[in-house]
């Protein structure tokens, strides 16, 4: 979608260069192999070579590990995510999960220079290293994301024994599970304490007592590994807790806000590429003596796609701007910020699914062939719609704030 609303005035020159670099990477490296990504089950032929070029050759892994300010603001990061998501959203997730893992110790007012200094060297090497934020559990699923539950349904327990946390429990579905070198694990010290019991504790891997199930075989997003993580008396130093009672709950809510904004912009990038593909098809496909885009039914469908993409993109950038200015708009973990981030994610994901559906209807059989690339975005966009509590969980967060919802 060439004429989308410009965000250049909001980006630093370095971030604009990063966005251009991401676009070049997608067109030169991702597009030529995109149809092979989901068939690369062991990640050796396509996925890891792509990740190496992105994470190592372009230096993204070291930048994320050190909290490099080049893409340090949400606004700057959104331009980068949008361009990468035009190519393959799972590559973006595998990359971005490292930033998500380290975010609790990198951003003011919560910043832990001691842990950054300790963990950053794990990733500042010439090989792919992943981070993982382990939140969802087999029992309660997205209950952990519900602020009304106040962490009372968390089953992964951390008990302090001397100067060590002893962790027992299980996590399901986290990105980069089973391949990460560092896990930020959402635990509770005591579920009866509510938010005061929520603890974000770092677990470097390999470590005794940590094991994994097989990798999940999904409809799409195969470049992002998911499996169940088991913690069996895993011991880590006391200092590996991100902050402490109450503060870790704030950070958990902030991470959900951050992930919602990022998911929204990934959906926008996905939608943009679908729109590019279907517009080219509608220009070249001739029916009744003229391009199908000149038929009013198709022109209106293309207009609906453009309306959705532009509104999703503009609102997401608005929320990202708010996230970057807590001094004006309040804490990043506030109920208002959470609700606005959820609007961005729910709307952008719904738009992406709609755009994929309309494009496939317009392209007919060409829409569901692997060679057309739309069906890949179709599968991936649906998965974005379903994570972080799904479309319904997001809507409940929105209603809790804007409608003073009383139910859980």
- Specify the 3-state DSSP secondary structure of 201: strand
Averaged over 65-91, what is the pLDDT? Answer: 85
pLDDT band of residue 12 (cuts 50, 70, 90) is confident
Q: In the CATH scheme, what is the code of domain 8-123?
A: 1.10.540.10
Predicted pLDDT at 4:
46
Nearest to 110 by CA among 162, 67, 62, 171: 67
pTM over 0.75: yes
Give the C-alpha separation, 84 to 258, whole Å. Answer: 17
With a cut of 90, say whether residue 14 has pLDDT above it: no
Give me the residue spans of the domains in the chain.
8-123, 130-245, 248-402
What is the DSSP track for 75-103? HHHHHHHHHHHTT-HHHHHHHHHHHHHHG
The residues, ordered by sequence, that sit 6+ positions from 89 with a Cβ below 8 Å of its Cβ are 221, 266, 269, 270, 380, 381, 384
Nearest to 156 by CA among 126, 196, 187, 114: 187
Q: Give ∠ CA 75-81-83 in degrees, rounded to 5.
A: 110
Strands annotated E in 277-330: 286-287, 290-291
Q: Which CATH class is domain 130-245?
A: mainly beta
| Cis preceding-peptide flag for 82 (omega within 30 of 0) | no
The pair of structure tokens assigned to 344 is: 């961005």
Domain 248-402 grouped into CATH 1.20.140.10: yes
Q: In this prediction, what percent of the chain has a pLDDT beyond 70?
A: 96
Predicted pLDDT at 284:
95
Strands 130-134 and 180-188: parallel
Q: For the segment 254-289, what is each residue's pLDDT rounded down to a tens digit?
A: 999 999 999 999 999 999 999 999 999 999 999 999
Predicted pLDDT at 148:
87
Predicted pLDDT at 130:
98
The residues, ordered by sequence, that sit 6+ positions from 309 with a Cβ below 8 Å of its Cβ are 1, 4, 268, 271, 272, 275, 351, 355
């Amino acid at each position: 979608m060439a004429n989308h609303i410009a965000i250049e005035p909001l980006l630093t020159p370095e971030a604009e260069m990063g966005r251009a670099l991401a676009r070049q990477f997608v067109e030169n490296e991702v597009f030529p192999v995109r149809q092979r990504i989901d068939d690369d089950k062991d990640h050796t032929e396509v996925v890891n070579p792509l990740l190496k070029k992105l994470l190592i050759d372009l230096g993204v892994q070291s930048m994320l590990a050190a909290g490099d300010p080049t893409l340090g603001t949400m606004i700057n990061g959104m331009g980068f995510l949008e361009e990468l998501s035009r190519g393959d959203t799972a590559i973006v997730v595998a990359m971005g999960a490292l930033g998500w893992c380290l975010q609790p110790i990198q951003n003011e007012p919560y910043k832990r220079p001691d842990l950054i200094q300790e963990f950053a060297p794990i990733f500042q090497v010439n090989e792919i290293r992943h981070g993982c934020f382990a939140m969802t559990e087999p029992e309660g699923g997205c209950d952990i994301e519900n602020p009304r539950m106040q962490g009372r349904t968390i089953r992964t327990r951390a008990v302090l024994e001397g100067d060590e946390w002893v962790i027992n429990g299980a996590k399901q579905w986290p990105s980069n599970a089973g391949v990460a070198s560092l896990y930020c694990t959402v635990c509770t010290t005591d579920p009866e304490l509510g938010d005061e019991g929520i603890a974000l504790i770092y677990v470097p891997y390999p470590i005794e007592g940590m094991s994994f199930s097989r990798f999940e075989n999904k409809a799409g997003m195969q470049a992002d590994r998911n499996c169940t993580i088991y913690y069996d008396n895993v011991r880590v130093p006391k200092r590996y807790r991100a902050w402490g009672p109450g503060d870790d709950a704030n950070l958990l809510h902030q991470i959900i806000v951050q992930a919602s904004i990022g998911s929204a912009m990934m959906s926008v990038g996905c939608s943009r590429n679908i729109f590019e593909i279907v517009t080219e098809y509608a220009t070249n496909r001739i029916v009744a003596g003229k391009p199908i885009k000149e038929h009013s039914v198709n022109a209106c469908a293309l207009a609906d796609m453009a309306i959705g993409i532009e509104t999703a993109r503009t609102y997401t950038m608005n929320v990202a701007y708010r996230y970057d200015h807590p001094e004006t708009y309040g804490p990043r973990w506030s109920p208002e910020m959470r609700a606005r981030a959820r609007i961005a994610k729910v709307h952008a994901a719904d738009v992406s699914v709609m755009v994929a559906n309309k494009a496939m209807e317009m392209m007919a059989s060409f829409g569901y062939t692997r060679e057309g690339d739309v069906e890949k975005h179709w599968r991936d966009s649906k998965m974005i719609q379903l994570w972080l509590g799904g479309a319904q969980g997001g809507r409940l967060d929105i209603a809790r704030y804007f409608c003073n919802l009383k139910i859980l």
